[in-house]
Amino acid sequence: MIEELKDTTILNKVGGRFKLSALIQKRMLELMEGGRPLIEDTEGKTQMEIVIEEIRQGKIALEDPAVQNNKKDKQEASPF
């Protein structure tokens, strides 16, 4: 198990275990589909370690569903 997951700091940063799990799953899928890591030093790290480090550094976060819906509404309403 990755040591960072034992620390409650990362849980508090994301907003709980469920949100952390969802964020890890979403980002792991992006990496498996060819997404590039957002951190510099990835040498010898697993994809899980890369995702955890991205979260620790604040490079990725889950968007609030209300924010996502608001963005979607604005895109549909604007012809430009």
pLDDT in tens, 25-40: 999 999 999 999 999 9
> In this predicted structure, what is the pLDDT of residue 6?
82
17 three-class SS: helix
Contact 4, 56 (CB under 8 A): yes
Rounded CA separation 69/47 (Å)? 29
Is domain 3-77 classified as CATH 3.90.940? Answer: yes
The domain ranges of the chain are: 3-77
Q: What is the pTM of this model?
A: 0.75
